[in-house]
Amino acid sequence: MKILKLPKEKLDLFASVVQQFGELHAPVEQDGKYVFKRLMRWSDARLEYDRTILPPKKYFLPPRETLFRYRPGEGFVPHTEGLDQRIILFGVHACDVYAINILDRVFAGKYPDPYYQARRKHIAIIGIDCSPDKHCFCRSMRADFVDHGFDLFFYDTGDYYQALVGTALGDDMVLATGSLFEPVDGTDIDDYKRRSWNKRRAFQLEVEIRDLPEIFEMEYQSEIWEELGEKCLSCGSCSMVCPTCYCYDVADHVELGSRAGRRARSWDSCLFASHALVASGENFRGPRASRIKFRFYHKQRGFVAEYGRPSCVGCGRCISACPVGIDVVQVIDRLRRVQDVASR
C-alpha cells in the first residue's frame, strides 16, 4: 500500500483542498458527545474524539429511507434522491471502517442492495487514528487496523500524519494537494511501529474471542440469558448505536386523502417485541430473554458461521449506551467463566 506523510500543521490545508471531492462531514461536539455532521467550518471538526453517538452507518443505511414512491397508475417508482451525493467522511476510526466492511458483505451477496451500494460508491472515507478508552476493545475483535474500506487513513506519528492510500480516489486527493504530502523513509516507518506499539499497550479492555463459537455452542442453556432478559429493557439502544446492526423494518406510508404514498425502511432491533411476530399472532422470540440471547448469538456466533468472524468490532458504543449497564465484554467473560476481571 502507498504510504505518505503529511506535516500536522498542513492538515487544515489538506481539508480545504479535499472539499472539491465532496461535502465534508466530520465528528463535531454536541452536548459533550460527538456526532458525525456536515462541517460548516473546518475548526468545528473534533478529530481527537472518543466515539460518535451514532456510527457512520447512518450515511450508508439512513435511519429512515424512502425506497419507492407509489402512485395509482404509475406503480412503484424507486426513490433515488441523494443516492449519488458526494460526501467525504473525515475522521472515521478503524473499528468503524471495519464495521462498514462488514456491512458491505451483508448488503452484497446474491441480492446486492442498490441503495446501500450507491451510497457506498459516492461517500469517501478518510480514517483517523485514535486512542482507546475504557470501553474500547477493537483490538480484541481484530478491528483496530483496517487494510481496506477507506480512501485515506491518517496515523498520528507525532509531528506527522502517516497516510495510507487505500483507493485511486484517495490517491487523487493526495495529488490534488500538490506537494503537501511527502514520501516516508525508514525512520518514519519506525515512528509508525512505535505508535502501534504504544496504542496496543493503551487498551484497558480485553476479551478473548478465539473460542467464541465453541463457548456459545456450550452455553445455549446458560442461566445468564434469563438474567439478561430480566435486566434488559428492550429499548434497542444497543442496536441503534451498533455499527454493524443492520435490521430494518419496511412500511408503506399513504399520503392523507390520496392513494399515493411511499415505501420506506427504518432501523429496527431484534430486541423489539415485534421483531419475530407474524400476522397469526405467533411470536418466535416472544420472551425478552430469547431476544437478547438472539442478539448475542447472531453477532458473536452466527456471523462466525456465515462470514468467518463475529460482527462485533469492539467500538464500545453498546456498553456506553445501555441504560441498565449490560456489558458485552462482561457477558463474554462470564460465559468463559473468567474469574479474574479485577485487572480491568
Contact set with another protein (CB under 8 A): 67-68, 70, 72-78, 80, 83-84, 106-107, 109-115, 118, 220, 246-252, 254, 259-261, 263, 265, 268, 270, 275-280, 284-285, 290, 294, 297-298, 301-302, 305-306
Q: Are strands 23-30 and 87-92 parallel, antiparallel or unpaired?
A: parallel
The least CB distance from residue 51 to another protein, in Å, is 24
Neighbouring residues of 181: CB distance < 8 A, sequence distance ≥ 6: 4, 5, 6, 163, 174
DSSP 41: S
Q: How far is the CB of 205 from another protein (least distance, A)?
A: 27
Q: Looking at beta carbons only, is 83 or 224 nearer to another protein? A: 83
Identity of the residue, 34 or 294, whose beta carbon is nearer to another protein in the bound complex: 294
C-alpha 211/C-alpha 249 separation (Å) is 33
CA-CA-CA-CA dihedral for 243, 310, 115, 260, to nearest 10: -80
- Distance CA(327)–CA(48), nearest Å, equals 25
**Whole-angstrom Cα distance, residue 317 to residue 308?**
23
Relative to beta strand 2-7, strand 160-165 is antiparallel
Residue of 135, 99, 132 whose CA lies nearest to 327 = 135
> Cα Rg for the chain, rounded, in angstroms?
22
Q: Which helix H or strand E contains 319, and what residues bound it?
A: helix 317-321
Tell me whether strands 160-165 and 152-156 are parallel, antiparallel or unpaired.
antiparallel
Q: Which is nearer to another protein, 145 or 297 (CB)?
A: 297
Inter-residue contact 270 to 298 (CB < 8 Å): yes
Q: Which residue, 63 or 158, has its beta carbon nearer to another protein? A: 63
Measured from the CB atom, is 47 or 277 closer to another protein? Answer: 277
338 is written with which cell numbers?
473468567
Q: What is the spatial distance between Cα 120 and Cα 138, in angstroms, rounded to a whole number?
A: 23
Q: Which CB, 110 or 201, lies closer to another protein?
A: 110
Q: From the CB of 189, what's the least distance to another protein, in Å?
A: 41
Cβ neighbors of 309 (< 8 A, separation 6 or more) are 142, 303
Q: Within the chain, what is the greatest distance between any pair of CA atoms?
A: 70
- Provide, rounded to whole angstroms, the least separation between the CB of residue 25 and another protein: 21
CB of 274 vs another protein, minimal distance in Å = 8
Minimum CB distance to another protein smaller for 53 or for 276: 276
Rounded-to-10 torsion of CA 30, 32, 33, 36: 30
Q: To the nearest whole angstrom, how small is the minimum distance from the Cβ of residue 159 to another protein?
A: 43
Nearer to another protein, 174 or 245 (CB): 245
Cβ at position 334, least distance to another protein in Å: 19
Question: Which H helix or E strand runs over 197?
Answer: helix 186-202
Tell me the closest approach of the beta carbon of residue 67 to another protein, in angstroms: 6
For the CB of residue 120, give the shortest distance to another protein in the complex, in Å: 13
Nearer Cβ to another protein (48/306): 306
